Amino acid sequence: MTTTTPAMDFGPALNSVLDTVDRWQEEGNYPLFPVIAEPLGTRARLADGRLVSVFGSCDYLGLSRHPAVTEAAVAAVQRFGTHCYGTQPVGGFTELHRELESSLATFFGTPAAALFPTGMQANIGVLATLAGPGDAVLSDQLNHGSITMGGRLSGARLVTFRHNDLADLEAKLIAAVGDRRRIIVVDGLFSADGDFAPLAGIADLADRHDALLIVDEAHSGGVVGPHGRGAAELLGVLDRVDVITGTMSKAFASTGGFACGSERVMRMLRHSAGAYLLSLGLVPATVGAAVAAVRVATEEGQHLRTRTADNASALRARLREAGVNIGASEAHVVLVHIGRVDDTARIATRLLEQGFLVNPLFPPAVPIGGARLRIGVTSAHGRDEIDAVAKAITHAQTC
């Protein structure tokens, strides 16, 4: 006798997600989880043999295949193996980890830095440690989800202000006058919209209302600013930011997160942040790669940043000329706004079939009704690739 196990009921919201995935797969419109068999610079061979141009990458400076970076990763494995002995305070902190912390602090112009397993954990660890009951965390409504998570875990009152709205932020700072401490936290570059936070105005408000300012430079660190120090440097307020958070998984061609700030704050994070204390240290290969990537971004960064910016500018111009809605995109993150989830999945699937790998963004990563494509432009892309993907996107939206 054969029995069938009943399907697990995950509740209406999650069941709807699974129903949508099932429908996309049945219709041949499932754009997620392409399997990469062989990366080839700005191209990649998929497991089914297709060759695609990669425009879904966050390797903004094109350093993931740089010889100095790959050689450093191999050398780190040969020296330290593939694993750390434990958490960073008790055996998972090597000379490479110390060198990377020092390199990041120097790169961003701060006294000290602390490493985290991921950029997401850096945001969670910093906020859940610096804020607590009786405090107010004031967060832009379009901040990365990890910032929201950190604010909630902290036990502080999480206050959301309208995106890039200085008047709304000031009103909420005034309303928070009775809170023990006020902490403003924003993305330097909003990766789902392609626009920058108005950091000069935000820093003024932080000064006026005695608030701490935290800026997540995940998508901007290494890529913008005269020295690549991110949106805070680009907008002239680097010395007014209390804590910078970021990740090595974008410009620095590796994985892992970090926080930069004063020696006292970094020391406190190392001894108090659960996201730091309760996870193994970064594996040696990723640390070795990141050390080399920071060095290359320092020595060759101006040229690489210029190429990335020029490529992004060329793509934005071509898409706007074709009437494609790219919204407020003004950086190397170019967003194509579509709206409906099903349309976005269909267009991303058609682009993949035509040989272009892009990132579709769906709720909750973006607001309901705001599904879009994120086009990752890097310094390694050629103008022929830029022209080709612009034409493909334009054609895919009209089909």
Active site residues: 191, 219, 250
- DSSP result, 140-162: ETTS-HHHHHHHHHHTSEEEEE-
Residues ≥6 apart with Cβ < 8 Å to 177? 209
* Distance (Å, whole) CA 217 – CA 224: 10
* Bridge partner list, 375: 334
Q: Which of 154, 144, 134 is nearest to 274 (CA)?
A: 154
Contact between 31 and 349 under an 8 Å Cβ cutoff? The reply is yes
Q: Tokens 């690739």 correspond to what residue? A: 385
C-alpha–C-alpha distance, residues 19 and 341, integer Å:
13
Residue 222 sits at the vertex; the CA angle it makes with 78 and 306, to the nearest 5 degrees, is 115
**What is the distance between the alpha carbons of residues 222 and 193, in angstroms, rounded to a whole number?**
19
Q: How far apart are the first and last CA of the chain?
A: 50
Three-class secondary structure of residue 20 per DSSP: helix
Cα–Cα distance measured from residue 158 to residue 167, given in angstroms and rounded to the nearest whole number: 18
95 vs 303: CA distance, rounded Å: 30
DSSP SS3 for 234: helix
* DSSP code for 6: P
Helix (H, G, I), strand (E, B) or coil at 73: helix
Query: In the 8-state DSSP scheme, what is residue 56?
Result: S
Report d(CA 328, CA 316) in Å as an integer. Answer: 10
Starting at the earlier edge strand, list the strands of the sheet with 211-216. Answer: 112-116, 257-261, 243-247, 211-216, 182-187, 136-140, 157-161
